[in-house]
Structures are given as C-alpha cells and as structure tokens.
C-alpha cells in the first residue's frame, strides 16, 4: 500500500504531501482487503447516524479491530455520521462520538451542523470532515467551514476541475473529492423519491435507489377524460373511458425499453495528473455496498496510477491495463461526471446497460510453496479444472492460467472446488502471495 500521507505546508498552501487514496469498506473483511490493496484510509459506517443502513455496518468491537489492522499498515479509519438528523436522532450522539474516539477512529464525516457542533465541543480530538451531503461547491463556503475548525471538506460531486483549483487557490484546507463510483441523479444526494415510494428516508440511511428502477411513462390526461363530472363518472362506460385515458395509455410500446433516471458511474483513472494539479488531497472511491472484488480491483489500480505519477510526474504514462482492470469491476458504463462539463443525456442510462464482461471472485491465496509451485486457495466461488482464471494482487501482480488438478488438504483429488471457504490446493504458473485473488469469468 501507499506510504502514510502527512499534512505539510507547500509554499503558502496547506495540503497532503501525497494524495490520499480513500476506500469504502462495508464490513471488516472489505476493510482489510481495501488496505491490503493500497488504501491510505478507509471510510466505514457505524450502526447509527450513517447513510448506508443496509450495509454490514460496524460494531464498536469491529471498529477497534479495523483500527488496529489499519495501524499496522499506516492507514486510517473514518466513520460516516452523515445523516441529516431529526429531533429523535439527537439523543445519544455525544456518547456515540466519544466511543468512536475511544476505539481509535481518526475522523468522522458529517453533514448536519448539529452533529458537527457536538463533535467539536464534546470530542475536539476527533477530526470532523464535511460530508459531500453539504453540497459544498465554492471557495467561500469552504472558507466558512475552515473557520468553523474543519480540516477537510468533501466537495459536492457537482464541482468541476476548474472550481476545485479555484477553491485551493483561495483556501488552505484539505479537499476530498469522489473520483470513482456511482453517481446520484439528485443534487448531491438530496432526494426524497425513496421516502415517497417506500417510506425509506434517503437522508437518514434508507435510500432504496428508486432512480435505478425501471418506469413506464403514461399520457397525463385526455381533454375528453378530464372534464368528467362526478355524476358521469358513476356511469361504468364513462369511468372506463376515464381510466383508459389517464391511467392506461402508455407513451411507449411494449417492445420499448423502460425509462430510468440512472446516471453512468464516475471514473477518473485517465485523469490522475489533472486531479493532483487541481489540488485534490484525498481521492475517494464510492462503494461501501460493493463486492470485495470491486474494492480490491479499483483500489489496486488507483494505487498503481498514483504511485506511478508521484514517482516521475514528467514521464507519467497511463497504462492500458489499468483501464482494462477497471472495466472488469465496472457495474455500469463510465464517464467523468462534472469534472470537465455538465453531464447531459449521454451521461445517463436509458437503454439496457452495456456492462463489461463480469467476473467473480473465485479464490483467495492463503499460502504458496515456491519449490512445488503449489498454492493453497480459499474457495470463494465454484471453480473446477479446465476453467480459465486470473490471479492478481497488490502492486500489479497479474497472470492468467487454466486450472489444473485440485486437491483438498488431505491430498484427495477434487473434480471441483464446491464448498464455500474450502481450502484447496493447485499448481500455479507464476508465484503468488498471501491475499492475492483469483477470479473467473461468470
């Protein structure tokens, strides 16, 4: 993983000496994979006050274990406390924040001024990073939050590259920006569709992602159907005409694709120099509810790109294999969000999604004997002899091979690795290391 970033003054600018790579971690296992594959810091959710109530959120015991693991690698752990609180949410916040500090959390990510104020007064040693939910887009707003004592602002996803550079010119503060992952169709995630459709509050952690649903569009009304009196409506024939005109006349034919509001996903792997030159201090990857394969693959690629640029900026070259790797973890088509222009109809998904070839996380390397080339693989998905697989690991380890013979721990030959978490042994074509991953095409 990357070296621990430290704050310093560069000229008259306050920034990290190397961009921080900030990874999502939906549970303890994902936290360990994210750090092992190169994250400088991870952000997680606790069991209260976060916007991912459906994730496998952390208990305090799990947080403590995660912090201890992170420290071994020089990494940090942040906790999202980014809901917009209602009155009933206020009680207990102070005790919760004190407990976060006690278990070693480095910072919270907050949007509600009430939570920010409680944290600043009750636990001043606990850093507060301003959440993207505050929709901060200009340098004067950033300056306000700096004067409130916050060391870092997570900008709204609607901020452009030029605006980021202008913010950094005016305010000496750390800037965190989303550089990869899902985008929201609503302004900075401020949406109430989920509330209306499912009674799940988007801004208190319950978003059902209703923008990703498929919809039919219907004609609003016909003049002949609108002006129906109550008396006429009692007539079944007129009522049937009314229902047909308003409720049952779709604007699309059956063979047409349903409508959705889903936006394409963000990907900035091709623009690392621009992000660094603009002054982004923390590169944030979205995806606390994404798979281990997604987290490991994406973090591994950005780690290599950042390190390559920092080692020799003048001779930095974007490697095609990085883009290929990103596409193997892509859930949706990709774009650059608001960084260079305002997204239009081409940046939304109206047709069936053109997904990249999907891959499954098939196995985790537990051990490797260089003399026999025998690797012990923990099964994570069914695989068998004759299948094509890929091995990859931190720092660019990558090769393809065909699965040969498989054995269990007692040396019995297997026709397949069928059982979840079963340790199996196989000959590998190239050296592998602990925590390397094996994947297969679905």
Question: pLDDT tens digits for 321-367?
Answer: 999 999 998 878 889 999 998 888 777 777 666 555 688 999 999 99
Report d(CA 260, CA 211) in Å as an integer. Answer: 6
List, for residues 360-412, the tens digit of each pLDDT value.
999 999 999 999 999 999 999 999 999 999 999 998 889 999 999 999 999 99
Average pLDDT over residues 309-319: 95
The pairing of strands 76-81 and 107-110 is parallel
- The answer as to whether 406 is a domain residue is yes
List, for residues 200-218, the tens digit of each pLDDT value.
776 666 777 777 777 777 7
The Cα-based distances of 376 to 32, 397, 438 in angstroms read 19, 17, 11
Q: Among 440, 420, 427, which Cα is nearest to 378's?
A: 420
- Classified as helix, coil or strand, 162 is helix
Q: What integer pLDDT is reported at residue 371 of this predicted model? A: 96
Instruction: Say whether both 400 and 275 belong to one domain.
Output: no
| Of 317, 347, 377, the domain-final residue | 347
Q: Among 312, 265, 302, 310, which Cα is nearest to 286's?
A: 265
List, for residues 74-120, the tens digit of each pLDDT value.
999 999 998 888 898 888 999 999 999 999 999 999 999 999 999 99
How many other CB atoms sit within 10 Å of the CB of residue 306? 21
Q: What integer pLDDT is reported at residue 19 of this predicted model? A: 95
Instruction: Say whether both 287 and 431 belong to one domain.
Output: no
β-bridge partners, 368: 375
Instruction: Say whether both 150 and 25 belong to one domain.
Output: yes
Is a pLDDT exceeding 60 seen at residue 33?
yes
How many other CB atoms sit within 10 Å of the CB of residue 214? 9
| Of 347, 376, 391, the domain-final residue | 347
Instruction: Say whether both 324 and 379 belong to one domain.
Output: no
List, for residues 229-267, the tens digit of each pLDDT value.
555 545 544 444 445 444 456 666 777 777 777 788 999
Report d(CA 391, CA 438) in Å as an integer. Answer: 4
- The answer as to whether 236 is a domain residue is no
Comparing 333 with 167, the larger pLDDT belongs to 167
The share of the chain scoring above pLDDT 90, in percent, equals: 64
Q: What integer pLDDT is reported at residue 204 of this predicted model? A: 60
Instruction: Say whether both 112 and 37 belong to one domain.
Output: yes
Give pTM, 2 decimals: 0.85
Counting the structural domains of the chain, the total is 2
Comparing 61 with 331, the larger pLDDT belongs to 61
For the chain, the average pLDDT equals 86
Residue 145 sits in a domain whose CATH number is 3.20.20.70
- The answer as to whether 229 is a domain residue is no
Is a pLDDT exceeding 50 seen at residue 287?
yes
Instruction: Say whether both 405 and 281 belong to one domain.
Output: no
Q: Which two tokens stand for residue 413?
A: 């030959």
Q: What integer pLDDT is reported at residue 361 of this predicted model? A: 95
Instruction: Say whether both 294 and 397 belong to one domain.
Output: no
Let me know if 129 is exposed, middle or buried by CB neighbors in 10 A (0-12, 13-18, 19+): buried
List, for residues 267-281, the tens digit of each pLDDT value.
999 999 999 999 999
Instruction: Say whether both 340 and 436 belong to one domain.
Output: no
The Cα-based distances of 215 to 13, 193, 253, 355, 397 in angstroms read 49, 13, 13, 20, 43
Is a pLDDT exceeding 90 seen at residue 73?
yes
Q: Read off the DSSP letter of residue 3.
A: P
Query: What is the torsional sign of CA 419, 423, 425, 431?
Result: positive
Instruction: Say whether both 35 and 131 belong to one domain.
Output: yes
Residue 427 sits in a domain whose CATH number is 2.40.30.10
Instruction: Say whether both 322 and 406 belong to one domain.
Output: no
Instruction: Say whether both 24 and 147 belong to one domain.
Output: yes
- The answer as to whether 327 is a domain residue is yes
| 8 A C-beta contact, residue 309 and residue 272 | yes
- The answer as to whether 213 is a domain residue is no
Query: What is the torsional sign of CA 405, 410, 414, 416?
Result: negative
Q: Read off the DSSP letter of residue 2.
A: P
Q: Which residue has the tokens 């129906």?
A: 228
Is a pLDDT exceeding 50 seen at residue 224?
no
Is a pLDDT exceeding 80 seen at residue 177?
yes
- The answer as to whether 225 is a domain residue is no
pLDDT band at 226 (very low <50, low <70, confident <90, very high): very low
List, for residues 188-203, the tens digit of each pLDDT value.
667 777 777 887 776 6
Q: What integer pLDDT is reported at residue 231 of this predicted model? A: 57
- The answer as to whether 26 is a domain residue is yes
Instruction: Say whether both 170 and 144 belong to one domain.
Output: yes
Report d(CA 14, CA 174) in Å as an integer. Answer: 7
Is a pLDDT exceeding 60 seen at residue 4?
no
DSSP for 172-210, written as a single string:
-SEEEEEEEE---SSGGG---HHHHHHS--GGGT----G
| Of 347, 373, 389, the domain-final residue | 347
| Alpha helices, DSSP H, located in 183-333 | 193-198, 223-226, 230-233, 236-246, 272-278, 292-311, 320-328
- The answer as to whether 221 is a domain residue is no
Task: Please give the residue range of the domain that contains residue 385.
Answer: 359-441
Q: Which residue has the tokens 């059956």?
A: 254
């Amino acid at each position: 993983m990357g070296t621990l970033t430290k704050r310093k003054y560069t000229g008259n600018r306050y920034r990290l000496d190397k961009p921080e790579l900030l990874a999502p971690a939906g549970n303890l296992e994902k936290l360990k994979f994210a750090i092992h594959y190169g994250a400088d810091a991870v952000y997680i959710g606790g069991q209260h006050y976060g916007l991912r109530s459906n994730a496998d959120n952390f208990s305090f015991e799990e947080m403590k274990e995660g912090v201890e693991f992170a420290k071994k690698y020089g990494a940090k752990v942040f906790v999202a406390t980014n809901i917009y609180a209602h009155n009933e949410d206020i009680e207990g916040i102070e005790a919760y924040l004190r407990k976060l500090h006690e278990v070693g959390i480095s910072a919270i990510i907050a949007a509600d001024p009430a939570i920010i104020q409680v944290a600043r007064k009750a636990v001043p040693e606990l850093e507060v990073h301003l959440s993207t939910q505050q929709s901060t887009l200009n340098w004067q707003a950033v300056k306000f939050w700096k004067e409130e004592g916050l060391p870092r602002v997570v900008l709204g996803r609607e901020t452009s590259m030029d605006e980021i550079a202008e913010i950094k010119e005016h305010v000496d503060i750390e800037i965190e920006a989303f550089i990869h992952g899902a985008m929201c169709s609503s302004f900075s995630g401020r949406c109430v569709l989920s509330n209306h459709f499912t009674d799940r509050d988007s801004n208190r952690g319950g978003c059902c992602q209703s923008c990703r649903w498929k919809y039919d569009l219907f004609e609003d009304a016909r003049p002949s159907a609108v002006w129906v009196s109550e008396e006429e409506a009692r007539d079944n024939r007129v009522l049937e005409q009314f229902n047909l005109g308003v409720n049952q006349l779709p604007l699309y034919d059956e063979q047409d694709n349903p409508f959705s509001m889903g936006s394409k996903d963000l990907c900035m792997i091709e623009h690392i120099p621009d992000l660094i030159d603009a002054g982004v201090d923390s590169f944030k990857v979205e995806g606390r509810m994404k798979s281990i394969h997604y987290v490991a693959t994406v973090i591994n690629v950005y780690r290599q790109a950042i390190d390559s640029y920092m080692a020799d900026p003048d001779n930095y070259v974007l490697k095609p294999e990085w883009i290929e790797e990103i596409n193997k973890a892509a859930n949706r088509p990709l774009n650059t969000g608001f960084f260079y222009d305002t997204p239009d109809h081409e940046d939304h998904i109206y047709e069936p999604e053109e997904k990249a070839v999907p891959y499954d996380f098939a196995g985790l390397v537990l051990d490797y004997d260089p003399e026999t080339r025998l690797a012990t693989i923990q099964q994570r998905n069914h695989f068998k002899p004759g299948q094509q697989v890929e091995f990859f690991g931190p720092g660019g380890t990558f090769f393809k091979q065909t699965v040969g013979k498989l054995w269990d721990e007692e040396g019995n030959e297997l026709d397949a690795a069928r059982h979840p978490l079963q340790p199996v042994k196989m000959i590998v074509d190239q050296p592998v290391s602990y925590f390397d991953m094996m994947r297969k095409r679905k």
